Copies of this chain bind each other. A is one copy, B any other.
Amino acid sequence: MIEMTNAPIDYHALTESVRSSQSGAVVLFLGTVREMTEGRRTVALEYEGYPQMAEAKLAELESQARSRWPIDQVGIIHRLGHLELGDISVAIAVSCPHRKQAFEAGQFLIDELKVSVPIWKREIWDDGTTEWVHPS
C-alpha cells in the first residue's frame, strides 16, 4: 500500500496490513512533527507534494527494498497539508522473516524517501515566520 493523503494517518491499519504468519518481524516507523529544531520552536508544518510522481518514486523504492531484503509486505503513507505538533507526517511499515531485515528495510525506505520523493515541507515558526525546509 502506497498512499499520499490529507487525512490523519491510520498507522494501526497500516501495520495490520503488513502482518503475516510468514514474517517474524514487523518494523513501523513514524515521522512526527517535533516542536524544537536547533533551539527554534515550530508551531506547525505544511507539507506539499507532487502526488503522482511521489507515488511512482515510492513504488520504485519499494522495488529497490524488495531486491535487497526478503520483504513480505510493505506499506507507506505520507500525509500532506497542515500538520500540528505531534502529528504523524509519514508512516512506513515493513514485515520480514527476521528482525534485522525489517529494521534495515524500514530505515532504507525512510532514508531514501527523504532524498528522492517529491514532497516539501515548510516550517511555521512561533514568531510567525515561515520557511521552506532545505534538505540537510
In angstroms, Cα B36 to Cα A114, docked, is: 35
**Which of A12-20, A55-63, A74-82, A122-130 makes up part of the contact surface?**
A12-20
Cross-chain contact A86 with B19 (CB below 8 angstroms): yes
Cross-chain contact A29 with B33 (CB below 8 angstroms): no
What is the copy number of this chain in the assembly?
2
In angstroms, Cα B96 to Cα A31, docked, is: 10
Q: Is chain A's binding surface mostly helix, strand, loop or mixed?
A: mixed
In angstroms, Cα B98 to Cα A110, docked, is: 12
**19 pairs, CB–CB < 8 Å, chain A vs chain B:** A11-B15, A19-B30, A19-B86, A21-B32, A21-B34, A22-B34, A22-B35, A24-B31, A24-B33, A25-B32, A26-B28, A26-B32, A27-B27, A27-B28, A27-B29, A27-B30, A28-B29, A34-B97, A99-B107
**Chain A interface (Cβ < 8 Å from any Cβ of B):** 11-12, 15, 19-36, 85-86, 95, 97, 99-100, 102-103, 106-107, 110
